[in-house]
Amino acid sequence: MDNDNVYELLIIGGGVSGSALFYEISKYTNIKSVCLLEKYEDISLLNSNARANSQTIHCGDIETNYTLEKAKKVKRTAKMVEKYCLQYKYENKIMFKHQKMAIGIGYEECRYIVKRYEEFKKLYPYLEVYDKERLKQIEPALVFDENGNPRVEEIIGVGTSNEYTTVNFKMLSDTFIKNAKENKDIKTDVFFNTKVEDISKKDGIFTVKTSSNKMYKAKMIIVNSGAHSLHLAHKMGYGKYYGQIPMAGSFYKSNKRILKGKVYMVQNPKLPFAALHGDPDLTLNENTRFGPTALVLPKLERFKSGTFFDFVSTLQLDLNVIKIFYGLLKDKDIRSYILRNFLFEVPYFGKIAFLKDARKIVPSLQMEDIQYAHGFGGVRAQILDKENQKLMLGEASINTNDGIIFNMTPSPGATSCLGNAKRDVILICEYLNKSFDIKSFENDLEEGDIK
């Protein structure tokens, strides 16, 4: 076999995770050839597209469903994104500072938010506590109703106004590719409109067959293709102990800046998906966008056709999956939540229902202030652990120990892109017997120990 036609590494999927890995391979290893295959015509057109996510750097300070241990982990990886952008002077171009906070409303939530502040303030020393009087000054839309009267119930916010909070992850992905290609000592190929149909291995070399019938060969493969990662794993016989259920998120948008910054609510511990929040949208001149909703869709890609049978294949429906669904649906709060999220998609009536929920954040919000954001939202594949009969939250990875790794990265996958790539770079270099310049990586992108 002609080794000149064999890449040392091939990456499948050109979202922010795949492009971050592409960058780190070029910047911090002595690997001499890497190829990235993307099924669409450009980088990050699906879940990493700015309109498919909340554009948030999830560092754990205002995400109330994060434990302290998870917060330590995501803070480390979130800081990598920040340091990368500062290194290349992308601040106020693709990374921005906005005021941000988590709010508690009513006695129980307010006690919870203060208790959480006490637990997390050492990890995030910049956090401040805002009472109702302070909120009237810094985020008045949280306090006053349409008549200018302050809300009756107690409200407390915990947040900050001087941290980087917002990233256009599509633009971030573009920079990863651009900066990777600056290294002329490595072969860095990117091919678009290249859908992977089949992967096989023979004599230590992987062959990737694509929709155009063109073949690509590599010594190692990393699959970063969202919900399709598990689909490709199943086709190769890996990860059959996992199923997945695609969760779509929709948004409602405003034609004005109702909130000055990001406002997150306290997560209901019974609900495995993100609570409603309001964000300044970089694609809408920083006008406020509310969401996401959480809708089960029988497809692996939002706004794209042809993935229903892929969904059926990766669901891996059996008694264990049915038991997972039963465990979720038997809870009244979860059933109600699921039904309401279906209702949010219904014209007019969905807007009325959504408005009721959004008014918990902005009491003065009116029907004319928001509209359904057509074309916004994405799909996050939530992994079903069939062996333990439970829904897994966060990222999952299947390392076959045979030269191919399949990564599934729901939120906060975009925030964790550089940290997840570092994890894979270590495995790649071990498998290929290559070197990883970890000192340079840590100097460029890490902050040191987080206590």
In the prediction, which pLDDT does 272 show? Answer: 64
Report the range out of 3-12, 96-105, 291-300, 383-392 with the highest average pLDDT. Answer: 96-105
Q: What is the pLDDT of residues 290-316, one digit of tens each?
A: 999 988 889 999 888 889 999 999 998
Q: Nearest to residue 242, comparing CAs of 340, 321, 185, 306?
A: 321
- Residue 370's alpha-carbon distances to 257, 276, 291, in angstroms, are 11, 14, 11
Element spanning 252, H or E: strand 252-254
Helix (H, G, I), strand (E, B) or coil at 423: helix
Q: What's the pLDDT band for 268 if we cut at 50, 70, 90?
A: confident
Q: What are phi and psi of 169, to 5 degrees?
A: -70, -25
Q: What pLDDT was estimated at residue 4? A: 63
Which CATH code, of 3.50.50.60, 3.40.50.150, 3.40.190.10, 3.30.479.30, is assigned to 3-445? 3.50.50.60
Q: Closest Cα partner for 361 from 256, 275, 273?
A: 275
**What confidence tens digit (pLDDT) does each residue in 55-82 have?**
999 999 999 989 999 999 999 999 999 9
Of the candidates 441, 439, 334, 326, which has an alpha carbon nearest to the alpha carbon of residue 384? 326
- Provide mean pLDDT across the span 211-226: 94
Percentage of the chain with pLDDT > 70? 97
What is the C-alpha separation between 127 and 351, in angstroms, rounded?
Answer: 34
Residue 450 confidence (pLDDT): 44
Give per-residue pLDDT as tens, 336-361.
888 888 999 999 999 999 999 999 99
> For the stretch 285-296, what's the b/e string if a residue is b when 16 or more beta carbons lie within 10 angstroms of its beta carbon?
ebbbbbbbbbbe
Q: Which of 116, 126, 395 is nearest to 269 (CA)?
A: 116
52 or 333: which leads in pLDDT: 52
Single-letter code of the amino acid located at 350: G
